[in-house]
Amino acid sequence: MSATWFRGPIAWAIAAIVVLLGALSFFVVVPETEQAVILRMRKPIATINAYQPGEQFGRTGAGVVFRIPFFDQVIMIDKRVLDIELTNQPVLSTDQLRLEVDAYARFRVVDPLRMYQTAISEKRVGEQLTPLFASALRNELGKRTFAALLSPERGQVMDNIQNALQKLASQYGVQIVDVRIKHADLPSGSPLDSAYARMRTARGQEAATIRAQGQKDATIIRANASAQAAKIYADSFGKDPEFYNFFRAMKSYQITFLNQAQDKGQTQIILSPNNSYLQQFINPR
Amino acid sequence: MAIRFGRPAWASNTPNEPPKSPWGGGGNGAGDDASGGGKGAGDGKGGSGGGGPRNPWSLPPGGPRRGAGGGGGGFDDLFRRARRGGGFPPGIPFGPQVWWLIAGGLLLLWIALTTVHSIGTQERGVVTTFGRYSTTLEPGWSVTFPAPISSVTVINIQNVREENFPDGSGENLMITGDQNIVDLAFQVRWDISNAPDFAFQIKDPKATVRAVAESAMRAAVSRASLNETIGSGRTTIEAQVQLQMQQILDEYNSGIHVLGVAISKAAAPQQVDEAFKDVTAAQQDAQGLRNTANAYAQQVLANAEGDAAEFDKIYEQYKLAPEVTRRRIYYETMENVLSRTDKVIVEAPGVTPYLPLPAVKRREAEPDIEVQGKRPGATK
């Protein structure tokens, strides 16, 4: 009976699991997304799968690593591109404009051992880099005018911040991949309101200019038309000014004397017998 | 152990002996009891063997049996029941073989489930073997090593992701190159061009895309003027942002492909909207003024042309017979004028004419007009 018991399934399973765990504790899997520092009796002996620029997946150091249980300690450090964000950093530009800046930096741990020695974990690296990033940002933006941020110089600004931050980050075994300014905005309150007021007046100016331009165009159009009409008259009537005088006078008499509209006066005519119209009447030839 | 201990208890208790003589049963298996009692005490199951007989008065008739069941533990009971209930025929020993079968079956199932992978047409499977990238599975059914050795991350690479800015409703204010503020909403669509890069290079791809999009858009807007951003420059800005985003994401080796950037709204902020509308109104007003002037110009020109044409036609005729035409026109005009007006002819000099002026009653302000006898055309 006793022998059966020891051959029992539960015991076997337990034994197998214990053996398996024991065997597995000799190995550690380092995935592609991590890099590892191996400490033997608290002394670093190797780094596994450390970042190499331009390496190809499948040919990296990722994979199974041998270790001695209890003596070796494997520290995993993220190998991917990580980020730190700065939000609503108040910045004063050289032209005394207050700005609120959001920026981010992307970084990668390239020297896992140094990073472990200086900061233990990648999370703490981020925490330690954040104030450095903020001061690098403020230093650089404090040297610029607000307008420089809104120009192609913006790229130069970001490069300078990246370089300044890189110098500090190298102490942590960290490579700054990229620094970018996300927002550079006027803080809400009076700066924003005055910007709005400026926009409003600028639009008011534009509207007034447009109206005045329209008025000007209209006057020019009228003047041109009058001039052209005068030219047409002159061209036509200039052929015989004397006849024009006669013809226009006739037309004028008709209009003046025959207009019987309400507000015009009635016409009385007193003729002298010497009138040329009555010439035949008085003295027929 | 449990089996061995349980069996005598079972055998002795079934007859349901009175509590007075429990030792009879104990006496029967004296040989076994020496070891059984010892084990029982050690396991805390002494209730059936030791406790019962010492206090016979307190035990009901079924006491020992219950004690055996409770003290013997689930295993004891379970095995017994299995044997009795006929889960297994009594002839076949119930033991390690069955467990091996179950374990083997589970293992096979595990292997089957973790070696065969079905990858959809839009998907790729990134395979890592002992943590190291080995291959990317194309659509279809594929076989890999079982689970702890290989692991497969399935990534849907063709699914178009959409990122909206601002996330939700509200204003998304940006500063333009001419230091104006614009309210801009846009959308970025992206998918994955390289599954392993996407899986291994970036910690939080979605947040990365959002941050990059925001940065690129603000950079592009800060180079454009307000009018360009609101109006004609939109497509240029969209193209610039897409290009720059792709460039940045490639720098990160992110494996992300930007499909497109679309500006869905670019307008003046709410606070200055009225002023912007006034500009539009001013444009309409100006156009209105121009239209009126044009209408007037057309009228003036048409009049001039008409008058000139009339004069020309008549002048043509006049040239053919100047004297006659002149006279004719003169008489016709006089006829026209005098036939419809009141007229007085004063013949003798010194005669004061009576002027029956009906007009005076109606309107005194208007001076009457006299036509003195002048020869037409004599003025010049």
Residue with tokens 């594929």: B142
For residues B173 and B249, state if they share a domain: yes
Q: How many residues does chain A have?
A: 285
In a domain? residue B8: yes
Average pLDDT over residues B61-70: 44
Residue B171 shares a structural domain with residue B146: no
Same domain flag for B138 and B180 = no
Query: Tell me, what's the pLDDT at B298?
Result: 93
Residue ranges of chain A with pLDDT lower than 50?
A: 1-2
From chain A, the residues in CB contact with B165 under 8 A are: none
Q: Tokens 């052929």, residue? A: A239
Q: Does B196 map to a domain?
A: yes
**Across the interface, which of B103, B211, B343 has its CB nearest the CB of A104?**
B211
What percentage of chain B carries pLDDT values higher than 70?
66
What is residue B245's predicted lDDT score, i.e. its pLDDT?
94
Angstrom distance (rounded) from CA A32 to CA A48: 11
Cβ-Cβ contacts under 8 Å for B366 (sequence gap 6 or more): A264, A265, B359
Summarize the confidence of residues B327-333 as an average pLDDT: 87
Helices (H), A88-152: 112-119, 122-141, 146-149
- A278/B96 touch (CB, cutoff 8 Å), yes or no: no
Distance from CA of B288 to the nearest CA of A (A): 8
CB contact under 8 A, B286 and A233: no
Query: Do B177 and A195 lie within an 8 Å CB cutoff?
Result: no
- Would B105 be classed as within a structural domain? no
Tokens encoding B338: 């005098």
CB contact (8 A) between residue A266 and residue B376: no
HSE-CB at A23 with a 13 A cutoff on CA atoms is 6
Same domain (yes/no): B297, B254: no
Q: Which residue is it, tokens 């005098």?
A: B338
Tell me the per-residue pLDDT of B70-96, one tens digit each, with 9 for 90 and over: 444 455 555 555 555 444 455 555 566
The reply to whether residue B3 touches residue A1, judged by beta carbons under 8 angstroms, is yes
Whether B168 and B250 map to the same domain: the answer is yes
Say yes or no to pLDDT of B283 above 80.
yes
Domain-terminating residue out of B156, B172, B207: B156
Read out DSSP for B146-206?
-TTTEEEEEEE-SSPEEEEESSSSS--EEE-TTS-EEEEEEEEEEEES-HHHHHHTBS-HH
- Report how far residue B298's alpha carbon sits from residue B51's, in angstroms, rounded to the nearest whole number: 129
B1/A5 Cβ within 8 A: yes
Q: Are residues B167 and B206 in the same domain?
A: yes
Taking one residue from A and the other from B, the number of pairs with CB-CB distance under 8 angstroms is: 336
Same domain, B252 and B183: yes
Q: Which helix (H) or strand (E) is A17 found in, with range? A: helix A9-24
Q: Specify the higher pLDDT residue, B363 or B171.
A: B171
Which two tokens mark A109?
């741990």
Instruction: Say if B356 falls within a structural domain.
Output: no
Best CA proximity match to A184, nearest among A262, A93, A54, A253 = A93
Residues A82, A150: contact at Cβ < 8 Å?
A: no
Min Cα separation B18/chain A (Å): 31
* B375 within some domain: no
Beta bridge partners of B184: B266
Of A82, A226, A274, the CB nearest to B373: A274
Q: Which residue has the tokens 């398996």?
A: A20
Boundary (domain end) residue, out of B156, B181, B208: B156
| A240-to-A227, B301, B325 alpha-carbon distances in Å | 21, 21, 14
Whether B273 contacts chain A with CB within 8 A: no
Res. B330: pLDDT tops 70 = yes
Dihedral angle of Cα B260, B264, B266, B267, to the nearest 10 degrees: 180
Select from B207, B322, B346 the Cβ nearest to the Cβ of A272.
B346
Q: What is the C-alpha to C-alpha distance for residues A158 and B54, in angstroms, rounded to an integer?
A: 90
Q: In terms of CA atoms, which chain A residue is nearest residue B292?
A: A218
Same domain, B12 and B45: yes
Same domain? For B290 and B223 the reply is no
- State the pLDDT at residue B171: 83
Collect all residues with Cβ–Cβ distance below 8 Å to B172 and sequence separation of at least 6: B165, B166, B183, B184, B185
Instruction: Write b or e for each residue in A212-221: b if 16 or more Cβ atoms lie within 10 A of its Cβ, otherwise e.
Output: eebeebbeeb
User: Does B377 fall in a domain?
Assistant: no
pLDDT tier at B249 (50, 70, 90 boundaries)? very high
- CA dist A208 and A214 (Å) reads 10
Domain boundary among B220, B243, B268: B268
Alpha carbon distance A123, A115 (integer Å): 11
Residue with token string 């608290």: A42
Query: Is pLDDT above 70 for B35?
Result: no
At residue B246, the pLDDT reads: 95
- Return the minimum-mean-pLDDT range out of A59-63, B25-29, B100-104: B25-29
Contact B329 A247 (CB under 8 A): yes
Give the per-residue pLDDT at B354.
58
Q: What is the pTM of this model?
A: 0.65
3-state secondary structure of A203: helix
What are the chain B neighbours of A2 within 8 Å (beta carbons)?
1
**Structural domain for B49, as ranges:** 2-85
Res A60: pLDDT: 83
Please indicate, yes or no, whether residues B298 and B320 belong to a single structural domain of this protein: yes
Q: Please state, in angstroms and rounded to a whole number, the distance separating the CA atoms of residues B278 and A103.
A: 37
Contact B131 A254 (CB under 8 A): no
Interface membership of A156 toward B (CB under 8 Å): no
Residues 303-362 of B with CB under 8 A from A: 303-305, 307-309, 311-312, 314-315, 318, 322, 326, 329-331, 333-334, 336-338, 340-347, 353, 355, 357-359, 362
CB of A24 closer than 8 Å to CB of B125: no
Contact A210 B279 (CB under 8 A): yes
Q: What is the DSSP letter of B272?
A: G
Using an 8 Å CB-CB cutoff, list chain A residues near B227. none
Task: Report all structural domains of chain A as residue ranges with CATH numbers, in order of start.
Answer: 24-78 (no CATH), 82-191 (3.30.479.30)
- Give me Rg for the CA atoms of chain A: 48
In a domain, B93, yes or no: no
Contact A271 B346 (CB under 8 A): yes
Give the pLDDT of residue B4: 43
User: What does DSSP assign to residue A278?
Assistant: G
Interface residue B147 vs chain A (CB under 8 A):
no
C-alpha dihedral (B314, B317, B319, B325), degrees to nearest 10:
-80
Give the closest of A196, A240, A267 to B271, CB-based: A196
On whether residue B94 sits in a domain, the answer given is: no
Residue of chain A whose Cα is closest to the Cα of B280: A207
Instruction: Note whether B368 contacts A267, CB cutoff 8 Å.
Output: yes
Q: Which residues of chain A does B201 touch, with a Cβ-Cβ cutoff of 8 Å?
A: 80-81
State mean pLDDT over B212-219.
91
Q: Are strands A268-271 and B342-345 parallel, antiparallel or unpaired?
A: parallel
Residue type at B80 in one-letter notation: R
pLDDT at B41: 40
Q: Do B377 and A242 touch (CB under 8 A)?
A: yes
Pair (B44, B80) in one structural domain: yes
Q: What is the pLDDT of residue B173?
A: 87
Calculate how close chain A gets to B57, using CA atoms only, in Å.
35
Do B242 and B194 fall into the same domain? yes
Contact A175, A163 (CB under 8 A): no
Please count the structural domains in chain B.
Answer: 4
Residues sharing a CB contact under 8 Å with residue A84, sequence separation 6 or more, in sequence order:
A104, A105, A107, A126, A129, A130, A133
Q: Which residue of B has its CA nearest to A252?
A: B333
Angle at alpha carbon of residue A38, lines to A37 and A41, rounded to 5°: 135
Tell me if residue A69 falls in helix, strand or coil: coil
Q: Is B338–A214 a contact, with Cβ atoms under 8 angstroms apart? A: no
Number of other residues whose CB lies within 10 A of the CB of residue A248: 13
Confidence grade of residue B49 (pLDDT, cut at 50, 70, 90):
very low
State how far Cα B260 lies from the chain centre. 14
Q: What is the per-residue pLDDT for B3?
A: 40
Task: List chain B residues with CB under 8 Å of A215.
Answer: 286, 289
Tokens of A64: 């199974």
Closest residue on chain A to B294 (Cα): A221
Contact in structure between A84 and A51 (CB atoms under 8 Å): no
Maximum distance among all Cα pairs of chain B, rounded to whole angstroms: 187
The residue of chain B nearest to residue A236, with distances taken between CA atoms, is B308
